[in-house]
Amino acid sequence: MQPPGYRWECSRERELLYLDGVMPFPCRCAGINPLLGGGGVLLHWGVRHLPHQRLFATAEGAKDFAEAWASKWDAEIRRVIKEQAHDPYGVRPPSPEMAKEAASRDLARRRGHRKDWWKRG
């Protein structure tokens, strides 16, 4: 049974499970890829730091598993996706000290110094 707020959508040769209403755009939570040669399907599920993969014999079995996973972990999925909305690329600006150190390493590389010259005292 499909949990509320989630929907399946076909994209090319695969099916994707999306979560609506948490971000301005739907967030993909799972994807079903058929294996070449008809050897089953590969389910990719998870969000951000929770990715997983598993092989299934049929697409129906993979769908049932993904829907059960989404129902069980709904609160955690929504929390992670809300955090992702504030930081969509998972990139945080470096601290001023780290930025200064990186700039000095880059300058040294451009001038032809050894990579670890800045480590030596």
> Mind giving me the DSSP string for 45-89?
E--TT--EEEEESSHHHHHHHHHHHHHHTHHHHHHHHHHHHHSTT
Specify the amino acid at residue 72.
K
Q: Is residue 116 part of a domain?
A: no
To the question of pTM greater than 0.75 for the whole model, the response is no
Give per-residue pLDDT as tens, 38-82. 788 988 887 766 568 889 998 899 999 989 988 998 888 888 877
Q: Is residue 58 part of a domain?
A: yes
Q: Write the burial class of residue 6 (CB in 10 Å: 0-12 exposed, 13-18 middle, 19+ buried).
A: buried
Q: Is residue 73 part of a domain?
A: yes
How far apart (Å, rounded) are the C-alpha atoms in residues 120 and 91?
30
Q: Which residue has the tokens 């992702």?
A: 84
Which residue range is the domain that position 73 belongs to? 6-86
Q: Is residue 111 part of a domain?
A: no
Helix (H) or strand (E) holding 7: strand 6-11
Q: Is residue 97 part of a domain?
A: no
Q: Is residue 46 part of a domain?
A: yes
Quote the number of domains for the chain.
Answer: 1
Give per-residue pLDDT as tens, 90-112. 555 556 777 777 777 776 666 66
Q: Is residue 48 part of a domain?
A: yes
Asked if pLDDT for residue 121 goes beyond 80, the answer is: no
Give per-residue pLDDT as tens, 20-38. 877 767 788 888 988 888 7
